[in-house]
A and B are shown apart, each in its own frame.
Chain A
Amino acid sequence: MIRVRGKRSMRRIITFLIVVGNAIGAILTYLYFSKITQIHQSQQNVSPYYADLFL
């Protein structure tokens, strides 16, 4: 079976790939800055059970 594509299919495919590629890059950059380089914000309030240890 011959696959028929739209008239402007190549333009659409290339534009789609550019947008997808940049989106992947943006997500990975976001993950890099939010998860890898960001120091983990831990809970500062010590639970009552351990509170005596940090007086």
Chain B
Amino acid sequence: MIGSGVLLFSSVWIMKQSQSRLYQIANDEVSIGSMDSATAQTLKRKAIQFPCVIAGICFLVWILAGFIFSFLQPVISQILYGVEPDLIECLKQFFGITCIGGSITALFIYFTVEKHWREAIPKFFPEGDLSQVKDAFKLRVHDRLLIVFVAISLVPLPLLGIAAYTKAQALHKADAIVRSQLLSSLFVEIIVITAICVAASIVLSIFVSKSVSIPLDKIENAMKEVEKGNLDMRVEIVSNDEIGSVTEGFNIMVK
């Protein structure tokens, strides 16, 4: 618990320090127009990559935590107390910390941070020129949907498999009374795993569908305005994916 707390707060502190300029612009404390072009370009690239960097740092912290608790701690225990480490158990623990905890945390943080950070993107790009920033990380709509569909379909399967395998191992050694207890606990576990996975799938699906549908709705409304003859209509560009390119093209078209 202490180790996890130290890792969490150190990662939050590092992110706060490294991204302070971005927060200043996002909170309207500093204008991007008052900076020289090289600094502005760097900050624009950082702004586009911000959700990815935050999620990436969190995932790295989880990998580090997995390494410490799965490999370093058994080695220290061996040195101090002479307890022989079991490599299979270490690998199982590493898988649990990084693949279960790390991946879910990184996905949740990426999509929630991106949703809120999109409000700040127009402050970095008053002209809406996101496509001018070269070499910035770009999560295309295709990849975004693919990642979420793979995550929500692949995470429950190993969890259910591991739960069933663990209980099958225990059943093999158990007597009649213990077997009935194990079977009833397996039933409860399957229900709990299914409920958690369904809830996580719904939350992730909502975030992803909104990240695609909201910008498209804005373009649709803007097109209706243009149809009525309002050629001053512009749409805020909040991403550098295909939808951002379409929005940028729309703004150029009605200019």
Contacts and interface: CB of A to CB of B under 8 A. Distances in A.
B170 interface: yes
A8 B11 CA distance: 19
A34 to B, nearest CB: 11
Interface residues of A, number: 34
A43 to B, nearest CB: 8
A37 B109 contact: no
Q: Chain B interface mostly helix, strand, loop or mixed?
A: helix
A17 B162 contact: no
Interface stretch (B72-80, B112-120, B213-221): B112-120
Given A18-B109, A22-B8, A37-B96, A46 B102 contact: no
Interface in B10-61: 11-12, 15-16, 23, 26-27, 29, 54, 58
A10 to B, nearest CB: 4
Interface of A is mostly: helix
B63 interface: no
Interface stretch (B135-143, B144-152, B181-189, B226-234): B181-189
Interface of A: 7-11, 13-15, 17-22, 24-26, 28-29, 31-33, 35-40, 42-43, 46, 50, 53-54
24 contacts: A9-B27, A10-B27, A10-B119, A13-B116, A14-B117, A17-B113, A17-B116, A18-B58, A18-B109, A20-B108, A20-B112, A21-B112, A24-B105, A25-B101, A25-B102, A25-B104, A31-B196, A37-B162, A39-B167, A39-B170, A42-B174, A42-B177, A42-B182, A43-B181
